Amino acid sequence: MAQAGWAVAYILRDLSSAKRLIEQAIELNPNLANAWNSNGWVNLWLGNPAIALEQLHRAYRLDPSPTNNSTFTGLAHAYFFLDQHEAALVHAEQVLRSNPEAHPGLRIGAASAAFVGRTDLAHHLGARLQAIDPTFGISRLREYLGPYQRPEFVEKYAEGLRLAGLPEVSSATTRSD
């Protein structure tokens, strides 16, 4: 049910139905890390990063695997939207230790590093992102994100990526006629 709830949220963009499914899964098994992780993501997309942070930390306590990239990515995003950019960067770096080419880890890491003034790191992560995905540009950010309900979250993310030196439109997608 938790996996179905996540899919309903991410693919169908129906957060209220997703939340009901995930909460039913938690009711059936309150020790299911995946359900708490999914609940955290849905709350993040709904614009409740503090609640998401609690739920994602609970998911991590239930499954403390160092390669739990979905939870670490969620934690990085929750901290980012709570203006705790150092903590966001720490969690993004955890994702990247496990998977150096993780698109979400590179994105949130670059944006977080930019907001804490670590310009060299922000540019380095942005360059790595462009190397693995030459078609990525800030104008396409929404295509990569979940169904965020608060436009200011997406704009803050975009601003961090701008500060990290990422282009608005990828040169791989533009033509020079």
Tokens coding 16:
């209220």
- Domain boundary assignment for the chain: 1-51, 65-177
Is 62 in a helix, a strand, or coil? helix
- Which residue bears the tokens 């990247």? 96
Average pLDDT over residues 112-125: 98
Q: Which helix (H) or strand (E) holds 53?
A: helix 49-62
CB 42 within 8 A of CB 5: yes
| Coil/strand/helix, residue 96 | helix
Residues 6+ apart with CB under 8 A from 123: 110, 164, 165
For 14-30, the pLDDT digits (tens) are: 999 999 999 999 999 99
Domain 65-177 listed as CATH 1.20.1260.10? no
N-terminal to C-terminal alpha carbon distance within the chain: 51
User: Mind listing the pLDDT tens digit for each residue in 129-146?
Assistant: 999 999 999 999 999 999
Can you give the pLDDT at residue 17?
97
Task: Identify the helix (H) or strand (E) that includes residue 144.
Answer: helix 141-144
